[in-house]
Amino acid sequence: MSVLSRRSLLAGSAAATLAAGAAPAAAAAPAAGTATPGVYRYRIGTFELTALYDGIWYRPITDKFIPNASFSEVEHALDAAFMPHDRLATPFTTLIVNTGQKLVLLDTGTGGQIAPSAGVLRDNLAAAGIDPKAVDAIVISHFHPDHINGIKDKDNELIFPNAEIMVPGPEWAYWMDDANLNAAPAELKLTFRNQRRIFTDIARQVTQFEPGKDVAPGILTLPAPGHTPGHTVFAIHSGDQSLMVLSDTAQHPAVFARHPDWQAAFDIDGAAAVATRKRLFDRAAADRMLVTGYHFPFPACGHLVKTASGYEHVPVEWQPKL
């Protein structure tokens, strides 16, 4: 890592002259010591969308992280993204869609149960002026803990008590099947058990949908299998505008958009995950669609540009007014 010295920064007479003319700072304000709320609001047609940050997890990774690439290639990609070699930056951004008729939450964050550096969704809901009791529906993309744990708090109480919970039928069928649980490796069994902790006592409040159907006017679900068998993405349409919600089609774009062929160890079917990623990314790039990804850096929305070897994510510009 390079360290900038005052001397190297001030090399050159113009900079030296500028520095000589600068007045000394007189401020002695105490440091705030906390981050600001992670809330980003935008519009799709008449719908008002609120991206809510739940925080970040640095997922430990090993040299087996990408089974179909050498670890030296992976290290090269991590270097290019300014990431360490032993952890994958995994931010979490949920999305609330106000259709004018309904308040719909897409995925629920970690519920403060994944990493100490995540679990700030409720603080950000408050900062955004959204009462969890006002959420009409929760729509889940897939059953990994970072997407469903925020249905409940640590004490097993519902965080959004009035929301209907809508889940992809194929996802429920796969994960709630005890034969699949029994056949799973030990680490994956934890995922199956977590799903039972979340869903068993609220099963009657859960509605299954078939990907391909609308879950609300203007919110279309689309099958996107691979990451998990029932993994689902969402197309939001209002007026002449649309947004594709990519869920976990790719994790951090600096790694997986740039290397769309990489199969992650945590994908249930790596080849299907790659096929789904390329299909959706090609479509988004060709149609210049606005997209958002659950693990893209906050505020998580932007565009995808096709490059010679993959895709590049171009973040949106922050807009202070809607």
Return the residue of 54, 107, 146, 267 that touches Zn ion, per CB under 5 A: 146
Residue 279 DSSP SS3:
helix
Stretch that binds Zn ion, among 100-108, 243-251, 273-281, 285-293 (CB under 5 A): 243-251
Residues in the interface with Zn ion (CB under 5 A) total 3
Task: Kindly tell me which of 54 and 248 has the beta carbon lying closer to Zn ion.
Answer: 248
List residues bridging with 243 in a β-sheet. 236, 290
Instruction: Write the CB contacts of 182 (distance below 8 Å, at least 6 apart in sequence).
Output: none
Cα 103 to the chain's mean position, in Å?
Answer: 19
Task: Kindly tell me which of 144 and 313 has the beta carbon lying closer to Zn ion.
Answer: 144
Q: Please give the order of strands across the beta sheet that includes 214-216.
A: 214-216, 219-223, 232-238, 241-245, 290-292, 301-306, 311-315
305-61-38 Cα angle (round to 5): 55
Site string for Zn ion, 96-135 (x = CB under 5 A): ----------------------------------------
Cα–Cα distance, 155 to 166 (Å, whole number): 22
Stretch that binds Zn ion, among 23-31, 65-73, 140-148, 163-171 (CB under 5 A): 140-148
Task: Kindly tell me which of 42 and 57 has the beta carbon lying closer to Zn ion.
Answer: 57
Query: 154, 200, 201: which is closest to 175 by C-alpha?
Result: 200
Check: CB of residue 229 under 8 Å from CB of residue 268.
yes
Task: Kindly tell me which of 88 and 218 has the beta carbon lying closer to Zn ion.
Answer: 88
Shortest gap between Cβ of 251 and Zn ion (angstroms)? 7
Stretch that binds Zn ion, among 25-33, 143-151, 279-287, 299-307 (CB under 5 A): 143-151
Shortest gap between Cβ of 92 and Zn ion (angstroms)? 7
Q: Which two tokens stand for residue 60?
A: 């430990």
Cα–Cα distance, 314 to 291 (Å, whole number): 10
| Residue 267 interacting with Zn ion (CB under 5 A) | no
DSSP string, 123-140: HHHHHHT--GGG--EEE-
Site string for Zn ion, 196-235 (x = CB under 5 A): ----------------------------------------
Return the residue of 91, 248, 252, 277 that touches Zn ion, per CB under 5 A: 248
Task: Kindly tell me which of 146 and 171 has the beta carbon lying closer to Zn ion.
Answer: 146
Q: Please give the residue ranges that form the binding site for Zn ion (CB under 5 A).
A: 144, 146, 248
